[in-house]
Amino acid sequence: MPKLTLFSPTPPDLSAFGVRSLSASLKAAGHDVRLVLFPGSIGLLQEDGSFIYHYPEHIVDEALDLAAGSDLVGVSFFTNYFDRAVQLTRAVRERLGIPVIWGGIHTTVKPREALEYADFVCRGEGETALAELLDALAAGRPTDAIAGVWTRRDGEIVDNGLRPLLPDLDALPFFDFSGENHFVHAPETGHIVALSADVLKRALPLVPYRHGRLLRVYRTMTDRGCPHGCAYCNVPTVKALFRDGPTPYFRNRSVPHVMAELREITARYPFIEGIQLFDDTFFSRKMDWLRDFAVAYKKDIGLPLFCQASPTTLDAEKLDLLIDAGLCYVEMGIQTGSPKIRKIFHRPESDDKVLAGARLLHSRQPKLLTPDYHVIIDSPWEEPEDLLDTVRLLAKLPKPFGLAIASLVYFPETELYRRARVEGRIHDEETEIYRRPFYIPPRRNYPSFLLYLLTFQHIPKAFLRFLLLPRVVAFFSRTNPTVLYRAAYVVGEAIRLSAKGLSAIAGGDVSRITGYFRRLILRDPVAAGRKG
C-alpha cells in the first residue's frame, strides 16, 4: 500500500482544510496517510522582512522519524509559511531521500519557484492527482505525465497543466478530523505528539461570546472559491486559471453534506461549543440553500453560529433566517472608504451600501454579538486623504464594533502583485512578501492615529468630529507628531490588555489569562490586527 506523509505548517487553530481534505480522500482510496501539523503564528514577522521562522532541529528530527519509509511527502502551506515549508522540504530530501510534492494556492500560482525546492508540484486540487502519483510511485511507473503534477525531466520542467476541478464537492469525504495517524507539533511540550482528542480540544480556537465568555469552535468551509474579484486576494487569481474549464471554480456543497459533517464532528467531539463557517462570504449562498440549511441547523445542531459577509451579499431576509437558526456573529469586509482605493481593490460597494449593512447588523443586536469590520491599510497607492476617507466612513458606523486591521500583502500573482511588479515596487519577494507581517500598527500619521482611536468603543462621537475638522486635520498633518502616535499606541494597548484581564478575572475565566502568558513564554504571538 503506498504511504504518504503530509506536513502542514498551519495557523494555530489546526483547521488546515487543504491537507485534511487530502487526507480524507486518500484514506478513502485505500492509501496509508500520516498527517503532521505544525501550528504557529506569524506574529513575529517584521516590516523589513528580517525575521525568519524555523523549527528547532529536534522537531525536524521527530518529523523525519514520522516520515521515514514513506513513498512521498507532501507539504502544503500558505504564503507566509514559506520559510518553514522550505526547511521541512530540505530536511526530507537531504536526509531521507524521499520525493517531496508541494501543494496549495501559493504553489498553484508559482509552480516554477516551487520546483526549485520540491520534486513535484500539484497545480490545482490534489485529491485525485496525489492518488495517481502515489500509485505510480509504488508501481514504479513514470511520474512525469500526470495531469496537474509538474516535475523535472533531464533537468527541464515538465508542465502538465492544471488538474481539472472536481465538479461535485459532495463526492469528497468530510475534512479528516478523525485523529487517526495524526500528529502535531505541541510547543508547550517541546515535541511532536499524537493529536488526541484532548490535544485537539486545547488547540481549537476560542472566540468571544456573550458575557465575556469564550467558546471553543469548530471551523469548516462549505464552499470553494468566492464570487468576488478583489484585486488583493489570491482566490480570483486561481479562479482565472480555470476560467475556460467546464467546472466553475466557485462551488458549494449541498446542505445534507454539510449537515452530515456537523452532526459527525459534534458527536465525535462533544466539547465543541460553536460552529464557525470560514467561507469568505457565506451570505452569497442562494436563499433556497440558506433556508434549508437554517431549518436543518436549528434542528440538528443548534450551537452558536459564526460567519462572514460582504456589504453586497448581506440582506435582512438572509440575516433573520440565520439568526433564527443560531447565528450570533457576523464579520464583514469593508477594506476602505476611499473611492480611489476601492477602484484599485475592485470593491464596488458604495459608502451607502456599507452603512446599510452596518446598520442592519446593529439593528439586530443584542441577538448578534458586536460585529467586526475588516479594513486594509498600508497600500502604496493610499495617500493620507484616502485613509481619512476610511476613517470618516467608519466614524459614521453605529457603535459598538471591532476592527480587523490588515496591512496590504502582495500575495503572488494577484492583480495588485502584478501591478506592483510593473511599477517596480517589489525587489525581493521573500523579504517583501513572504516575510511581511499581516499587521503593522497604525501609528505612522494622523489618519492612522484616528483609525486606531476607532478601535476603542467609547470614544465620544463629538470628540471624533472635532478631530476630523479640516483645521485639526491640517495641523496634525503638518506637524505629524509620530512620537505622540507611538506613545498613544503603547498606552492604548496597555489599557486594552488591562481591561481584558479585569474582565476575565471578573468572569472567572482564568484560561484567558493563562493563555496570554503561555503565548508570551512560547514567543508565538498571534498577529494583532483585530481590535475592539
Within 13 Å and on the Cβ side, how many CA atoms surround 238?
26
Helix (H) or strand (E) holding 6: strand 3-10
Q: 316-325 and 351-363 are packed helices; what angle lies between their axes, rounded to 10 degrees? A: 30
pLDDT on residue 500: 77
Question: Strand pairing partners for 156?
Answer: 153
Q: At what angle do helices 446-453 and 482-506 cross, to 10 degrees?
A: 10
64, 282, 361 from 311: Cα distances, Å: 47, 12, 11
Amino acid sitting at position 184: V
CB 358 within 8 A of CB 332: yes
Q: Which residues of the chain have pLDDT under 70?
A: 504, 506-524, 526-528
Beta strands in 209-314 (DSSP E): 214-220, 223-224, 251-252, 274-277, 305-309
- The H-or-E segment that residue 194 falls in is strand 191-194
Q: Report the pLDDT value the prediction gives residue 516, as an integer from 0 to 100.
A: 60
Per-residue confidence (pLDDT) for residue 30, from 0 to 100: 92
User: Whole-angstrom Cα distance, residue 203 to residue 363?
Assistant: 34
Beta strand 251-252 with 274-277 is: unpaired
Half-sphere exposure of 492 (CA within 13 A, CB side): 22
Task: For 179-206, give one letter per residue: b (16+ CB within 10 A) or e.
Answer: bebbbbbbbeeeebeebeeebbeebbbb
Distance of CA 31 to the CA centre of its chain: 29
**Dist. CA 152–CA 95, nearest whole Å:** 21
For position 515, what pLDDT does the model report? 63
Residue 528 has what pLDDT? 67
Of 326, 305, 330, nearest in space to 219 by CA? 305
407 within 8 A of 440, measured Cβ to Cβ: yes
Q: Which amino acid is at 335?
A: Q
pLDDT for the residue numbered 214: 92
- Give the SS3 label for residue 146: coil
Q: Give the per-residue pLDDT at 2.
A: 86
Cell of 24: 480524507
